[in-house]
Amino acid sequence: MSQQWLVTILLISEQYFRRVTGSTEIAQTLTTIEPERAERQRAPTRKAA
């Protein structure tokens, strides 16, 4: 019974969702910044005194 309510709520609320502007470029952006992020994770960090 609760699953039916959940599905109904999701279907109704889906009508009010908006597409993110530039959503087609998100994958390309992630691909571009991934090497830099990985490099920063490998770099040793220093603690402040």
Question: How far, in Å, are 2, 16, 37, 44, 45 from residue 41 at the CA level?
Answer: 43, 38, 6, 8, 9
The tens-digit pLDDT sequence of the chain (49 residues) is 788 999 999 999 998 888 888 888 888 988 999 988 888 888 776 777 6
pLDDT of the residue at 2: 84
What was the pLDDT predicted at 7? 93
Identify the three-state secondary structure at position 46. coil
Can you tell me the distance from the alpha carbon of 17 to that of 34, in angstroms, rounded to the nearest whole number?
Answer: 28
Query: CB atoms < 10 A from the CB of 40, how many?
Result: 9
According to DSSP, residue 20 is labeled P
